[in-house]
Every structure is written in C-alpha cells, then in structure tokens.
Structure 1
Amino acid sequence: MREVLLRSKSAFSIAAFALSAMVLSACTARPLYSVTAPAAAGVSSTMRAELASIAIKPVQTRYAQEVRNRLVFLFGGGQGEPATPRYSLDLRVTSIREAAALRQVTRGENEPTAATITMIGNYVLTRASDGAVVGQGSRRIMSSFDVPRQSFAEMRAAIDAQNRAASELAQLLQLSIAQDLSRQ
C-alpha cells in the first residue's frame, strides 16, 4: 500500500512539473499590440524602418548636438543618416541651469552646492515629399549634479549632467516621434 502511494505521489509530482513547465513556456514578454518581435526597446521592426528614414537638420549648440547625435544613432541603429530621407526633423534644444541647494558662505552670500540642468527638446517632423507636418511636440528632462568648489570640476560636472540629460531626452523624443509616425 505504501509503495502504491509513493508511486502515485511521484507520478503526481512529475505531472505537476510537466504541466507547470508547459504553462510557463507559453509566457512571453512583448508589447501587447506588436505584430512582430520588437527590434529595439518598444519599437517594432516596421517602425524601426520608418525611424531610419528620418533626416535631422543641423543644430547650433554642443548639448543640442549631443541630442542630435544620439537620435541619429537611435533612428538608424548605428548606421548613420539615410541617403534618401522620407522625413525631415527640425530639432530645437534649450538647456537651463538652476541652483538646487545653497550653502551660506557669509552673512549675505550663498554658494550653490547642487544644481539641476533642465533640457527641453522641441521638434517638428515633416514629410519630405510634400512638406506636410506629420508631428510636433516637446519633451523635457532634468539632470542633477553636485557643484564642487573647483571651477574645472564644476564645469565638468555640468557637462556630464548635460550629456546624461541629452541621452535621456533623445530616448523620449524617439518614442514621441514613433508615436507620431504610428498615427499616420
């Protein structure tokens, strides 16, 4: 009797394991409305081709160039700008630095010990064939940094914060532009 119980327990354990393995193998993690597997985070392969056909107009500042370079990489997957673009992106980037924390040096004088870079990206996406506006929008990102007493260290910390903000802003802009293209 005991042997029969042990056999039925082991058979039940094997059956339960096999059933749970089948159930878990059916689980996948992908976007709900995606037709195919995504080529990159949150972007389908058809959308990747649309994004790769966008040419980005030149910009004027160092931090705007950081955003532009990152967008070129994100759009083309590291292949650069398209030879025959279907869309044109006009990009305007502004950067604002604000003191986040102050330390009193003397009675009437304060010195910042932390600061925040706020980077704002405005864009207008137009179709190259007829100049029609496909999408436009604005995205904002903030990046904080410590303000040391040495001037070079302060300048380098501000540039690093701008670079972090530029990278994150480019990712936000990529998703926003992908949404604009998907509405067509």
Structure 2
Amino acid sequence: MEDNPSEDWETMQIDIGIAEADRKAIAEGLNNVLADTFALYLKTHSFHWNVTGPMFNTLHTMFMTQYTELWTALDEVAERIRALGYPAPGSFSQFTKLASIKEEQGVPNAQEMLRQLVEGHEAVARTARKVFPTAEEANDQPTADLLTQRLQIHEKTAWMLRSMLE
C-alpha cells in the first residue's frame, strides 16, 4: 500500500481529449478570468458596504445580489482550472498580477460606484472573450460553456448598471 496516494494522483496523466499545451493555455486564460472576477467581487462587496445616498437601499441590495453571484462564479472558474490539471491562483498577490481591474482605494459616490462596476463587468467580459478562441480550437466545450455563461451575466449586469447612470 502506498504511503501517500495523493502524490500518485497529482502526477497522474490527464487524458480528457485536450492536449496538454491547450489545457495549459486555457488554464492560464482562466487564471485571468478568475483574477478579474475576484477583483470585481471585492469592489462590489466594498461598494455594498459603503454606498450612501438616495438610492442606498436599491444599490445596497443590488450590490449584494451581484457580489453573491460573483462569489459563486469564483468557485466555478477555479474548479474548471483544476479540472484542466492546473492549480488555481488564490492569493492577493497572484490576483493583483493577473487582474485587469484596479482596486478602488477610497469610497466613491454612488454614481462613481455604478460607473466603476460597469467598467468592471465589461473588463471581465473582455478577459473571458480572450480565452474563447483557445477553448473552441481545443474542442473544450465545458470551458466554452462556462465562458458563455459568464459573458451573458457580465454583459447583462453591465447593461443594467449602465441603465442606472442614464
């Protein structure tokens, strides 16, 4: 009997019909999606805590719905990275290097919060869209499906937030 069966599991070859180079490229792209999603999650949660003004209740509740959805998405993206055979990034320093969304240092007013969240959702959509060609070429339907779902959510959320700015 093996002393540490997990060592064998970690070194076991993955044969899911996607070449290793393609799995690596897809996982690297998903690392960026994960980092952008985490950055947007943090920003949305912070805005939920700190929003003020006449739209407080509406925005406070809406931001909670949005950060809850983003929190669930983090797990889905990270688990897809793991299924492809690569570790998912999980530290602030890794996310900072990988994310295209910059953190907010202060507490902007409600209108600026909305504007930043529109930009954040659009950024995640752009990041996800960059992974799509590699996933499609590799015949990676689970990643393509995940990206499609994420794109639908981010584009719809950006539209709804943008509508509040008009």
TM-score, normalised via structure 2 length: 0.27
- Which of the two has higher C-alpha Rg? 1
Normalized per residue, the structure richer in helix is 2
Relative contact order (C-alpha < 8 Å, sep 6+): which is higher? 2
TM-score, normalised via structure 1 length: 0.25
